[in-house]
């Protein structure tokens, strides 16, 4: 076993032991604890859990890699995801927390109708499943490199561990586990960034020093036949940059596994403070990602430019064993680098390895390499656990309890929820072994689906009393249908042929148009049909204005009287 594998094993065993121990101590037997942690999580802890839940493998593993290869255009992920969280904190989180239910579909059902609840539950499962595929693939990448497994084996090990602690603790266990996971992932992310900033500039503050190398990086990129790193709209057309940013913003504000986090606080004020702390914790990573992208891209190009294949650094051979790095057949010297296998470059490097490979590329010690691997797994597992809980609650609470067996006991509903988790893990493993794109891009598809379905229905439901059940249902169906159809059309999924983007719109950006279609259809249909009953207008008033109190139902009932 190499030093890197030894330290990786040590850190992963220690951190996994901590996560599973927390889940075991926090295990629950009632639905209130399983789904919303008994509404008892402090704001600071919930903020850290929200940050860990939201900053998935896409943020930790893939985003800096996309920024490294896309350059300026990669900022769509930074702007979209952070901007979307501001939308969520201002437009949705406090109001939904005041409503005080278990799931997002439950609010939608009470605001509109049982039909809309069912549509929302289907959308929640679809979004969460798409999202979790990226997390399974991200976990598999970590294990495949550092524990000497192939990608299939890595995905299966990651899935097994995620499944164990998610099923044990429910939301209560997942929340406290995510606090620990945030601590691990942010330390793992910052240490190599600080060390590399010190190497490059002599000042260990990556957020303010990475600009010093951009001119050198531009020159080096041009030398290898790449676009200038800081050139705008060189990798994506302007319209797609706008649409992807907007889709990520709206999708973030509509993600059910993030929204449900605000149900766990003690009060509505706690939900607002949770949003503040979450933004602070998220900013620590998101202001560091551009620095890691620039530093790693420079180290990558500088380390291989003009190098003979026989003299490539060790990290190339280490990652080549996973199949995520490859040297072109017949190449003797590296004169071109790409992240696209079809580009015909001398060296092809998968986006998703750059953060994990950063310590090796920079020549940092083996313990830091192992810590980064543990951080990558923390990011993947924290989000996957929240997604599994959304799938569980949608199936057991919004389908089984509300539509099939309203007399189901707490224990019966928990059993159904855990069985739904099991099925979701099995299917996600299969898809995670062969995903349709890079981790961050797969996650972006989930955000597009959330933008086209949940965000319009929630915002209209809170701020427009005239929106009725028929309009909301028509809007969700229209938005999802357009978004899913376009994604299948432009991606190689289900054995279909990938087609060219229409008018430069990528599958990551189509969610913006889907959201617009959703709103237009919902407004038009609502105006053309009867207005909602008067009691629903009173419901909207009760959650929008603090002066109108609303009693919360007793824990564990899940039904309105």
- Residue 462 belongs to a domain with what CATH number? 1.20.1730.10
Nearest to 267, CA basis, from 39, 466, 471: 39
pTM for the whole thing?
A: 0.81
Q: Where are the beta strands (DSSP E) in 143-182?
A: none
Is 290 among the domain residues? yes
Q: Answer whether residue 389 is part of any domain.
A: yes
Rounded to an integer, the average pLDDT of 193-213 is: 88
Which stretches within 202-267 are classed as H helix? 206-209, 214-223, 238-253, 256-259
Answer whether 467's CB lies under 8 Å from 459's CB. no
Please indicate, yes or no, if residue 323 is contained in any of the structural domains: no
Local confidence band at 561 (pLDDT 50, 70, 90 cut-offs) = very low
Look up the domain containing 19 and give its range. 3-296+363-544
Mean pLDDT of 366-371: 88
* Nearest CA-CA partner of 108 in 117, 100, 99: 117
* pLDDT value of position 525: 97
180: its two tokens: 């620990």
| Residue 390 placed within a domain | yes
Model confidence band, residue 506 (pLDDT cutoffs 50, 70, 90): very high
Query: What are the tokens at 40?
Result: 């008892």
How is residue 232 written in tokens?
Answer: 């705008």
User: What are the tokens at 480?
Assistant: 């999802």
354 assigned to some structural domain: no
Domain total of the chain: 1
Nearest to 126 by CA among 439, 448, 470: 448
Residue 364: per-residue pLDDT: 85
**Residue 223, domain member (yes or no):** yes
| C-alpha dist (Å) from residue 450 to 124, 135, 543 | 8, 17, 22
Give buried/exposed letters for 415-440 (b at 16+ CB in 10 A, else e). Answer: ebbbebbeebbeebbebbbebbbbbb
* Residue pLDDT, tens place only, 120-149: 888 888 888 888 887 788 778 887 777 777
Q: What is the CA radius of gyration of the chain?
A: 23
In a domain, 269, yes or no: yes
Instruction: Decide if 310 is inside a domain.
Output: no
In this predicted structure, what is the pLDDT of residue 557?
42
């Amino acid at each position: 076993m190499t030093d890197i594998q030894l330290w990786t094993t040590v850190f992963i065993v220690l951190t996994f032991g901590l996560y599973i121990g927390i889940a075991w101590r926090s295990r629950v037997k009632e639905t209130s604890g399983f789904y919303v942690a008994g509404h008892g999580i402090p704001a600071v802890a919930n903020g850290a859990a929200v940050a860990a839940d939201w900053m998935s493998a896409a943020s930790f593993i893939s985003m800096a890699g996309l920024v490294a290869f896309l350059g300026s255009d990669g900022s769509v992920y930074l702007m979209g995801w952070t901007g979307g969280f501001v939308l969520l904190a201002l437009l949705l989180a406090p109001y939904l927390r005041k409503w005080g239910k278990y799931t997002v579909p439950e609010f939608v059902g009470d605001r509109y109708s049982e039909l809309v609840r069912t549509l929302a539950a289907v959308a929640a499962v679809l979004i969460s499943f798409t999202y979790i595929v990226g997390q399974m693939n991200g976990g598999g990448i970590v294990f495949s490199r550092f524990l000497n497994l192939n990608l299939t084996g890595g995905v299966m090990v990651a899935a097994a561990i995620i499944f164990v602690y998610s099923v044990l603790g429910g939301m209560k266990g997942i929340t406290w586990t995510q606090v620990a996971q945030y601590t691990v992932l942010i330390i793992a992310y910052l240490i190599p960034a600080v060390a590399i900033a010190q190497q490059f500039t002599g000042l260990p503050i990556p957020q303010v020093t990475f600009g010093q190398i951009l001119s050198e990086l531009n020159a080096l990129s041009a030398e290898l036949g790449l676009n200038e790193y800081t050139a705008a709209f060189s990798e994506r057309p302007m319209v797609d940059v706008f649409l992807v940013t907007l889709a990520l913003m709206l999708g973030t504000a509509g993600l059910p596994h993030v929204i449900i986090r605000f149900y766990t606080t003690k009060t509505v004020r706690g939900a607002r403070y949770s949003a503040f702390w979450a933004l602070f914790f998220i900013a620590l990573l998101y202001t560091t990602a551009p620095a890691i992208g620039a530093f790693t891209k420079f180290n990558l190009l500088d380390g291989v430019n003009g190098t003979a294949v026989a003299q490539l650094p060790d990290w190339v051979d280490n990652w080549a064993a996973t199949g995520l790095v490859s040297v072109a057949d017949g190449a003797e010297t590296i004169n071109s680098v790409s992240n696209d296998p079809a580009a015909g470059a001398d060296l092809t490097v998968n986006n998703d390895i750059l953060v994990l490979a950063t310590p090796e590329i920079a020549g940092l010690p083996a313990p830091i390499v192992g810590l980064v691997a543990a951080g990558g797994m923390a990011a993947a597992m924290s989000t996957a656990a929240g997604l599994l809980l959304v799938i569980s609650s949608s199936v057991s609470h919004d389908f089984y309890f509300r539509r099939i067996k309203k007399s189901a006991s707490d224990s019966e509903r928990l059993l159904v929820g855990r069985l739904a988790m099991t099925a979701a893990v099995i299917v996600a493993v299969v898809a995670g072994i062969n995903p349709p794109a890079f981790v961050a891009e797969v996650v972006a598809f989930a955000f597009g689906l959330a933008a086209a379905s949940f965000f319009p229905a929630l915002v209209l439901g809170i701020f427009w009393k005239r929106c009725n059940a028929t309009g909301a249902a028509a809007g969700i169906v229209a938005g999802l249908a357009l978004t899913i159809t376009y994604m299948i059309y432009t991606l190689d999924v289900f054995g279909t042929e990938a087609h060219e983007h229409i008018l430069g719109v990528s599958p990551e950006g189509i969610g913006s148009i889907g959201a617009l279609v959703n709103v237009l259809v919902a407004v038009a249909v609502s105006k053309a049909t009867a207005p909602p009953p008067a009691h629903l207008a009173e419901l909207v008033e009760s959650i929008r204005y603090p002066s109108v109190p609303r009693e919360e139902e007793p824990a564990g009932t899940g039904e309105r009287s």
